[in-house]
Amino acid sequence: MSAALSGAVDLSALKARADAARQAPSKPAAAAPAGGSDAPAAGGPFVFDVTEATFQADVVERSLQVPVVVDLWAEWCGPCKQLSPVLERLANASGGAWVLAKVDVDANPRIAQLFGVQSIPTIVAIAGGQPVDAFSGAQPEPQIRQWIGALLDALRDRLPGIAAAEAAATQGDAVEEVYEEPTDPRIIAAEDALEAGDYAAAERAYQQILDVEPANEEVKAALAQVKFTARAESADPSAIGKADADPSDVEAQLAAADVQVALQQVEEAFARLINTVRGTSGDERDKVRSHLVELFGLFPSDDPRVAKARRDLASALF
């Protein structure tokens, strides 16, 4: 588990609050069944929204049968909008070997506090009523698949629901997987390199595709994610202080912006680079502009933070 989640997490506090809420005269509610609440799925048969009141039944009790992956997200979070749809699709494709519990941290801050969440998206795997693994930030789909696969392999002998769901899928009774593996050998080569942690090779593979298909938006997004992931893994948290101490150091500003995006300080990162554009010229200005545009590619095109930053960038350039 990450450092932010490495301590023992006591889920009993949420159970006590849920029990109290169910017993309150002003808000009568029937106790949830052992297999989980009857709340409708948020995005498919194995995806559901969770609140503080339903956490015990929907997460803790379900995790006695199959792993429950908790997606801590917020409406304003750009990386969340990238990661959540991938998790939802993979959960529904699993046929119930694992399930996805979505927690809006703005509406349920105590759950986020319980796990010591410092940034979102944060993903926590619960098994047997306790957290067993976690990661933060949007990850490429191949890495998510690898993480889930390792999770199932580690827990298959301990949680009976995993094998049961997999057996049902083999017999054709589970939900049909909607994800189609890429057949383009160039994409396969890029994803294989990414899974192996060879970011340079993955970057080259995606760039070769763009050289032939410059309008391929999916590959553009994948390339931006690979470049950022490679930089973020080696990012120095002290870069922000160094950049603040010397606004004229362009390389320090680029590194600080990467750290801020990784910390979900997206607007601050954009503003930093736009100010750097205003204070530079020539090749340095173009380098900063290109870096900022690359960061834009990490977020949906309709993200209001990206739209505002694009306007501010245009103003800074012209």
Active site (catalytic) residues: 77, 80
Q: Which residue has the tokens 């959540």?
A: 84
> Contact at 8 Å (CB) between 123 and 71?
yes
Instruction: Classify strands 122-127 and 68-73 as parallel, antiparallel or unpaired.
Output: antiparallel
CA-to-CA distance for 94 and 176, rounded, in angstroms?
9
Grouping H, G, I as helix, E, B as strand and the rest as coil, residue 38 is coil
User: Quick one: DSSP state of residue 61?
Assistant: I
Left, alpha or beta for 285 (phi > 0: left; psi -120 to 50: alpha)? alpha
Q: Which residue has the tokens 């703005």?
A: 106
> Contact at 8 Å (CB) between 295 and 261?
yes
> Contact at 8 Å (CB) between 288 and 258?
no
Adjacent-strand bridge partners of 72: 103, 122
User: Which distant-in-sequence residues (6+ apart) come within 8 Å of 114 by Cβ?
Assistant: 9, 10, 11, 13, 14
